[in-house]
Copies of this chain bind each other. A is one copy, B any other.
Amino acid sequence: MSQGNTRVTPQVVNAHACPVREVLDRVAGKWSVLIIVAAAHGPIRFTELERGVEGISRRMLTLTLRNLERDGLLTRTVHPTVPPKVEYELTPVAHELHASLLGLTDWAERHRVTIAESRAAYDARHQPE
């Protein structure tokens, strides 16, 4: 860790050691969060998710659900009926994650406008036309 250095600057951030990145890698996928939000208030079926998460394809829904299940963020319950019925439900861990995301949501909503303005200003500054 510490080398006998008196300077402050180092502050090395390792992409692999950084826990924030770990979460983000898990959550950054285009759909993961949306699915978590959609499933936040109780068990939900495949087709309901398909409708609930606007714009998601069947393929991506399946893939994302598998990943979330793999990470232990949701459980998959197959009801052996005809027609088949599968329900997905957030695990406690995922609920905690959902709660933590609220901080970000909040940030986003507070600064959404500011950021949009900043972008517009920047673009105007750099592309006169």
Bound together, the chains give a CA A118 to CA B94 distance in angstroms of 13
State whether B11 touches A52 (Cβ < 8 A): yes
**A22-B108, A33-B20, A33-B24 in contact; A54/B101 too (CB < 8 A)?**
no
Would you call A12 and B51 a contact (CB within 8 A)?
yes
Contact residues of A: prevailing secondary structure = helix
User: Quick check: is A1 within 8 A (CB to CB) of the other chain?
Assistant: no
Known contacts: A13-B52, A27-B24. The answer to whether A107 contacts B114 by CB under 8 A is no
Q: A99, A103, A108 — which one has the most chain B CB atoms within 10 A of its CB?
A: A108
A93 at the interface (CB under 8 A from B): yes
Residues of chain A from 86 to 106 with CB closer than 8 A to chain B in the complex: 93, 96-97, 99-106
